[in-house]
């Protein structure tokens, strides 16, 4: 039973994307659909106005969604994208103010259509997107550009909420001023009210103080609310940005351990908490200690010496312990990553662990990592706690000292009773934020270490960098040339490919053979632009693939990798994973050729059968079939197969081979294989040996040479 019925569906039409391509062409920044939308989180496979801005930035256009009346849209703003009702959009290319007519581009034919103001008014939603080309600096002038002009990913995102932070600062100022109310109230009661029995004054003062407290409460609530709002805004922006950098990074920048990398990314939480939580308001409160000290000096004169000394002591101890604290935090950060690396690797290989009986070894690794983490976690908390306890003692001693000094001053008639009490209250208020310094420093170091880790992620070299735009190649004919290509994997000394040169003409069918580790898969990875060669160049259609947008390049290649990667979801989901636009009958065609239909039909759920995480619920051969079906979608001009039938039985393999021979007719085909059966697919053979191309010729003569031993392969 199959759940896919062959039926004709309308292909997904994306008006905004069409408009973007039209505007891009007008502004001489032509681009393809694939390169404009690659990696964007499309909604229902379409651009939204917000995503339009992101996609336009990729193409080198600055854009902005604005609410604007049609009467305010003039020729100077053209070309602009008008958002129409019913989620339609059109490009406005001309406004004739005299006759009041608007010229729009047709989304299908690119032809121009004139509309009168009244007619357009009926269709117009009230919003438009203003677009203009961003100025591109050359590499020549790069060194002239001041560094600070480049918006910083982290601070730039925070700066977006500067108004909120300004208000938070203002609120903090008021909150701290309000803190003066209580001591001053008590002082006046002792000095003025009590001696004179002035009950009326007492009530006036009391009501005043209560009102101040009301405001204080309100401001505190607002302050934490706004910090949360600003935090949420930055959180969404930053998480999205970081994930985009992770996905956009070159494969050569791939981290060594997925688990450790995941832990590094998760630490973003620490940074987020730091900028949103109460921690930041505690930081903001710190400078107000000075304010309280000034007030104490004003009220109590020499009394201020006590809190001053205590404050210096507290801050001194905290600063002294900073170094060890930072080290402890960094160590726990690293052990946490190590712990996660062990965890993730173990979970991913649970079956192997059991087969090999290696549980003990992993248990040991785990316990070591956990122990190390616990040790350093404890150390950092101990350091922070000891600093806090010093602060506690200093505060207590300080209040005693204030009283002692105060009594001497009262005796000399330099201080009133009320002023002394106010000084005691103020000094504890002054030292309170300092007492938190130890805790704050701990949070700060944690956030800073996490931030530095994220900075490393953000700095990773990207596949698409804005400085060097790609040439537009949405359609490739399938010619591949290797020009003395040498390549070593990052961090490896030995080259995986050495001086490999060959040319494959469009429509040619080539087999690549060689012993294990001879560089066959590497050859295909270079064709896909997953890695760049250190020497030489890989050219597709005569263009160095460095200059072709990876999205365009890979869209033109149907690839079955050696290790098939599937995702949690149904078989159908997995076939259309990278190409959500395809129609059902196209999926069915690909699935039938690849042999997926045979095993899908044998299951009650058909194409909706779940493949499990990483495709674990399918057999090795079935996974390969799904991968072949994926590669066949979209009918690309170039096919790269890396042992597509290694997990299949002879009958399935023969079937696949016949089907492939049929569908790849006239297309460029590069098949890596260990099996002679598949070699009938190809007319030409490349033989790799330890990274070198040792033979290249017609299939029969190469096989003959191999048989006769004329070709020596180690």
Among residues 341 and 688, whose Cβ is nearest to Mg ion?
A: 688
Give the CA angle between residues 236, 566, 580 to the nearest 5°.
Answer: 65
Q: CB–CB of 158/234 below 8 Å?
A: yes
Q: How far is the CB of 639 from ligand ATP (least distance, A)?
A: 17
Please, which residue, 270 or 522, has the CB nearer to ligand ATP?
522
State the nearest-atom distance from the C-beta of 564 to Mg ion, in Å.
13
* 628 vs 620: CA distance, rounded Å: 13
Report in angstroms how near the CB of residue 520 gets to ligand ATP at its nearest: 3
Q: Any idea what DSSP says for residue 191?
A: I
Stretch that binds ligand ATP, among 105-113, 367-375, 516-524, 624-632 (CB under 6 A): 516-524
Question: Shortest Cβ distance from residue 14 to Mg ion (Å)?
Answer: 38
514 binds, among Mg ion, ligand ATP, none (CB under 5 to 8 A by kind): ligand ATP
Q: Tell me how many residues contact ligand ATP (CB under 6 A).
A: 12
| Residue nearer to ligand ATP on the CB measure, 423 or 693 | 693
Q: Which is nearer to Mg ion, 562 or 659 (CB)?
A: 562
Sign for the CA dihedral angle at 491, 496, 502, 507 comes to negative
Please, which of residues 539-578 interact with ligand ATP by CB under 6 A?
562
Helix axes of 162-178 and 278-285: crossing angle, nearest 10 degrees: 60
Report the nearest approach of ligand ATP to the CB of residue 492 (Å). Answer: 5
The answer to whether residues 495 and 502 touch, using CB atoms and an 8 Å cutoff, is: no
Q: How far is the CB of 500 from ligand ATP (least distance, A)?
A: 11
Q: Please identify, using beta-carbon distances, which residue of 29 and 525 lies nearer to Mg ion.
A: 525
Pick 477 or 562: Cβ nearer ligand ATP: 562
Partner from ligand ATP, Mg ion, none binding residue 199, C-beta < 5-8 Å depending on class: none
CB 233 within 8 A of CB 159: no
Let me know the angle formed at the C-alpha of 42 by 41 and 44, rounded to the nearest 5 degrees. Answer: 135
Smallest separation, CB 522 to Mg ion (Å): 8
The minimum distance between CB 689 and ligand ATP, in angstroms, equals: 10
Considering beta carbons, is residue 323 or 565 the nearer one to Mg ion?
A: 565
With CB under 5 to 8 Å by kind, the binding choice for 522 among Mg ion, ligand ATP, none is ligand ATP
Nearer to Mg ion, 264 or 521 (CB): 521
In the complex, the residues that contact Mg ion under the rule CB under 5 A are 521, 562
Interface with ligand ATP, residue 518, by CB under 6 A: yes
Question: Degrees (nearest 5) of the Cα angle 213, 219, 225?
Answer: 140
Say how many CA atoms lie within 13 Å of 516 toward its Cβ: 1
Between 200 and 563, name the residue whose CB sits nearer to ligand ATP.
563
Q: Which does 516 bind (CB under 5 to 8 A by kind): ligand ATP, Mg ion, none?
A: ligand ATP
> How far apart (Å, rounded) are the C-alpha atoms in residues 606 and 609?
6
Q: Taking the complex as a whole, how short is the minimal distance between the CB of residue 561 and Mg ion, in angstroms?
A: 9
Sole binder of ligand ATP in the list 332, 342, 522, 556 (CB under 6 A): 522
| CA–CA gap between residue 199 and residue 221 (Å, rounded) | 33
Nearer to Mg ion, 143 or 516 (CB): 516
**CA 528 to chain CA centroid, nearest Å:** 23
The string of DSSP letters for 243-269 reads HHHHHHB-GGG--S-HHHHHHHHHTHH
Smallest separation (angstroms) from ligand ATP to the CB of 622: 20
Window 453 to 512, contacts with ligand ATP (CB under 6 A) = 489, 492, 496
CB of 365 to ligand ATP, least distance (A): 22
Residue 478, binding choice from ligand ATP, Mg ion, none, Cβ under 5 to 8 Å by partner class: none
Peptide bond into 79 cis (omega under 30): yes
- Measuring CA to CA, which residue among 263, 271, 283 is closest to residue 158? 271
Stretch that binds ligand ATP, among 16-24, 89-97, 439-447, 518-526 (CB under 6 A): 518-526
256 counts as binding ligand ATP under rule CB under 6 A: no
Cβ-based nearer residue to Mg ion, 521 or 597: 521
Measured torsion, CA atoms of residues 353, 358, 361, 362, in degrees rounded to the nearest 10: 10
x/- mask, ligand ATP, residues 27-56, rule CB under 6 A, reads ------------------------------
DSSP codes joined into one string, 604-661: TTGGG-B--GGGTTS-HHHHHHHHHHHHHTT--SEEEEESTTTTS-HHHHHHHHHHHH
Reading the block at residue 301, the tokens are 């004169």
Residue closer to ligand ATP by CB (options 498, 630) is: 498
- Please choose which of Mg ion, ligand ATP, none residue 517 contacts, taking the beta carbon within 5 to 8 angstroms, the exact cut-off set by kind: ligand ATP
Nearest distance in Å: CB 251, ligand ATP: 8
Q: Which residues pair with 131 in a beta bridge?
A: 63
To 10 degrees, the CA torsion angle through 167, 172, 174, 180? Answer: 180
Question: Least distance to ligand ATP from the beta carbon of 690, Å?
Answer: 8
250 binds, among Mg ion, ligand ATP, none (CB under 5 to 8 A by kind): none
Whether the CB-CB separation of 123 and 88 falls below 8 Å is answered with yes
Contact pick of 384, 416, 446, 521 for ligand ATP (by CB under 6 A): 521
Angle at 113 between CA 112 and CA 118, to 5 degrees: 150
Question: Which one of the spans 49-57, 79-87, 222-230, 514-522 is the region binding ligand ATP (CB under 6 A)?
Answer: 514-522
Give whichever of 498 and 572 is closer to ligand ATP, judged by the CB atom: 498
* DSSP secondary structure code for residue 190 in this structure: I
Partner interacting with residue 624 (select from Mg ion, ligand ATP, none; CB below 5-8 Å by kind): none
Whether the CB-CB separation of 565 and 614 falls below 8 Å is answered with: yes
Tokens read off for 701: 């003569």
Q: Which residue among 439, 514, 533, 558 contacts ligand ATP (CB under 6 A)?
A: 514
Nearest to ligand ATP of 317, 681 (CB atom) = 681
Nearest to 433 by CA among 321, 319, 280: 280
Which tokens in the block code for residue 202?
A: 């007492």
Give buried/exposed letters for 545-570 (b at 16+ CB in 10 A, else e).
beebbbbbbbbbbbbbbbebebeebb
* Binder of ligand ATP out of 29, 520, 589, 684 (CB under 6 A): 520
> What's the closest the beta carbon of residue 694 comes to ligand ATP, in angstroms?
13
**For residues 680 and 623, what is the distance between their CA atoms, to the nearest angstrom?**
23
Strands 124-133 and 668-672: unpaired
* Shortest separation between residue 316's beta carbon and ligand ATP, angstroms: 51
Sheet of 535-540: strands edge to edge? 497-504, 480-487, 535-540, 543-544
Nearer to Mg ion, 277 or 646 (CB): 646
- Residue 516 as a binder of ligand ATP (CB under 6 A): the answer is yes
Residues interacting with ligand ATP, by CB under 6 A? 489, 492, 496, 514, 516-522, 562
């Amino acid at each position: 039973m199959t759940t896919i019925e062959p039926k004709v569906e309308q292909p997904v039409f994306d008006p905004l994307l069409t408009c973007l391509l039209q505007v891009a062409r007008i502004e001489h920044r032509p681009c393809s659909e694939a390169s404009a939308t690659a990696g964007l989180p499309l909604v229902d496979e379409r651009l939204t106005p917000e995503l339009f801005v992101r996609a336009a930035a990729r193409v080198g256009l600055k854009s902005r969604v604005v609410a604007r009346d049609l009467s305010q849209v003039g020729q100077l703003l053209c070309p602009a994208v008008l958002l129409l009702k019913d989620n339609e959009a059109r490009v406005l290319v001309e406004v004739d103010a005299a006759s009041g007519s608007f010229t729009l581009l047709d989304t299908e034919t690119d032809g121009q259509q004139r509309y009168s103001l009244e007619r357009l008014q009926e269709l117009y939603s009230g919003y438009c997107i203003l677009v203009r080309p961003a100025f591109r600096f050359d590499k020549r002038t790069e060194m002239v550009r001041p560094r600070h002009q480049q918006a910083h990913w982290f601070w730039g995102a925070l700066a977006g909420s500067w108004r909120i932070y300004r208000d938070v600062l203002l609120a903090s100022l008021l909150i701290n001023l309000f803190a003066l109310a209580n001591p001053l109230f008590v002082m006046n009661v002792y000095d003025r009210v009590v001696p004179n029995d002035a009950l009326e004054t007492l009530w006036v003062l009391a009501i005043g103080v209560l009102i101040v407290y009301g405001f204080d409460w309100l401001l505190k609530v607002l302050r934490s609310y706004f910090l949360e709002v600003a935090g949420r805004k930055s959180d969404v922006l930053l998480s999205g940005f970081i994930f985009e950098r992770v996905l956009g990074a070159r494969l050569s920048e791939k981290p060594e351990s997925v688990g450790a990398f995941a832990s590094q990314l998760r630490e973003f939480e620490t940074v987020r908490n730091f900028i949103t939580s109460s921690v930041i308001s505690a930081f903001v409160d710190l400078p107000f200690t000075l304010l309280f000290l000034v007030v104490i000096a004003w009220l109590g004169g020499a009394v201020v010496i006590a809190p001053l000394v205590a404050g210096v002591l507290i801050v001194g101890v905290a600063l002294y312990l900073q170094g060890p604290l930072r080290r402890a935090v960094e160590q726990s950060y690293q052990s946490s990553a190590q712990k996660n690396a062990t965890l993730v690797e173990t979970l991913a290989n649970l079956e192997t662990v059991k087969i090999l009986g290696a549980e003990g070894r992993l248990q040991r690794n785990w316990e070591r990592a956990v122990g190390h983490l616990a040790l350093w976690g404890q150390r950092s908390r101990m350091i922070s706690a000891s600093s806090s306890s010093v602060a506690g003692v200093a505060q207590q001693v300080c209040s005693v000292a204030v009283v002692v000094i105060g009594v001497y001053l009262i005796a000399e008639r330099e201080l009133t009773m009320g002023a002394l009490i106010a000084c005691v209250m103020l000094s504890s208020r002054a030292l309170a934020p300092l007492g938190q310094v130890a805790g704050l420093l701990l949070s700060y170091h944690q956030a800073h270490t996490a931030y530095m880790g994220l900075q490393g992620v953000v700095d990773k070299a990207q596949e698409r960098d804005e400085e060097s735009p790609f040439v537009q190649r949405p359609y490739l004919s399938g010619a591949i040339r290797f020009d003395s290509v040498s390549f070593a994997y990052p961090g490896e000394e030995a080259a995986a490919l050495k001086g490999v040169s060959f040319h494959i003409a469009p429509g040619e069918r080539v087999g690549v053979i060689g012993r294990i580790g001879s560089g066959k898969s590497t050859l295909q990875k270079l064709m896909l632009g997953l890695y760049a060669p250190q020497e030489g160049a890989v050219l597709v259609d005569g263009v160095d693939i460095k200059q072709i947008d990876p999205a365009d390049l890979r869209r033109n290649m149907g690839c079955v990798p050696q290790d098939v990667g599937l995702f949690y979801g149904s078989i159908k989901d997995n076939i259309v994973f990278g190409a959500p636009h395809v129609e059902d009958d196209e999926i069915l065609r690909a699935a039938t050729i690849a042999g997926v239909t045979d095993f899908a039909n044998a299951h009650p759920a058909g194409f909706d059968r779940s493949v499990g995480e990483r495709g674990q619920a399918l057999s090795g051969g079935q996974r390969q079939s799904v991968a072949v079906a994926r590669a066949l979608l979209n009918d690309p001009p170039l096919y790269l197969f890396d042992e597509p039938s290694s997990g299949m039985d002879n009958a399935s393999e023969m079937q696949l081979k016949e089907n492939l021979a049929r569908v790849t007719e006239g297309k460029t085909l590069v098949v890596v294989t260990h099996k002679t059966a598949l070699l009938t697919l190809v007319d030409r053979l490349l033989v790799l040996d330890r990274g070198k191309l040792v033979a290249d010729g017609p299939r029969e003569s190469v096989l003959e040479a191999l048989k006769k031993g004329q070709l020596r392969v180690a």
